[in-house]
Amino acid sequence: MRFAFIILFAFAAWTPALAQQVSKTSDDEALYQLARTDLPTFARRVSKNATSELGQAQAIVRWLQEQFEWKATDYQKRTVQEIIDRRGGNCNELAMVALAAMKELNIKLRRVHEVNIYVNTPRRGESARAKVAEQGNTYSVFGRHHNDHVWLELYDSNSNDWYPADPATGVVGVEEWLRARAVFGKRFSLNPITSEMIVPFAIFAADDSGKFTIDRSRHYMIDEFDRFYKGRLHQHPAWTKWTETLALLDPEVAGAFAGTTNLHDYEAQIDSLAETYEQLRAAFKD
């Protein structure tokens, strides 16, 4: 079952202050040096107690989130080795390291690119528009009221299903992911950046060629979201608008990923979706 994965941390008790208190023990330092010099052995050792691909992924993702520093995007291209040596990175860079480590365990993986509703920031919107004018439509995945984020999906042979694994937020499994990224009440995350990423609305996994063409938006933001709330979301009047606006924006986000659509042209629809989410939050936040 999708929600059968055991949550090993107390969600409500975790705070950014507590996250900063996670100590880098001598064992962690030894694991870090191993990651720098022998990634296959690191992957096996950090996940030695896991009994499934899902458990192995959780061990690696948790360790990376606790031991690596979140760093803002600076548009520099780095190798996995450079990211490890730097001991930190943005969401894409952390996903690169996690993917490389999990591949050493023969876990089946694919990259995931999302766009989410972000805290409304007009100044950020201005800089985003300038970036699009300079670099093209692929940079329109971030703007005044939206942002992009990168994570992974892993295939677990025990359950015969794909699951999210996000090294930037420290979550693995559908329920953890929803608790960190979509729920209306108090959220679980090992990274305070998620407080600014209000809710994802378009999610695409990479195909065998590396292009983000596998549409996962409905799976996460309609089916699993509604299931998490025991089918009550689709009974609310705002749910129809939520699903319709998701369907409208989905191909436009795909176009932005491909460089054929300027997502800034759909700011009004993103604003509307944010309002709909708040209507749902008001009804279900408890």
Is residue 102 within 8 Å of residue 133, measured between CB atoms?
A: no
Give the pLDDT confidence of 24-35 residue by residue, as tens digits.
678 999 999 999
Cross-strand partners of 202: 115
- The answer to whether residue 75 scores a pLDDT higher than 50 is yes
Q: Would the pTM of this model clear 0.95, i.e. be above it?
A: no
Options 2.60.40, 1.10.3210, 3.10.620, 1.10.10; CATH for 20-284 is: 3.10.620
User: What distance in Å separates the CA atoms of residue 150 and residue 129, rounded to the nearest whole number?
Assistant: 21
Give the pLDDT confidence of 229-241 residue by residue, as tens digits.
999 999 999 999 9
As a whole-number percent, the residues of the chain with pLDDT over 90 amount to 84
Phi/psi region, residue 6 (left: phi>0; alpha: psi -120 to 50; beta: rest), is: beta
Reported as a pLDDT band with limits 50, 70 and 90, residue 21 is: very low
Cross-strand partners of 91: none
Cross-strand partners of 152: 111, 165
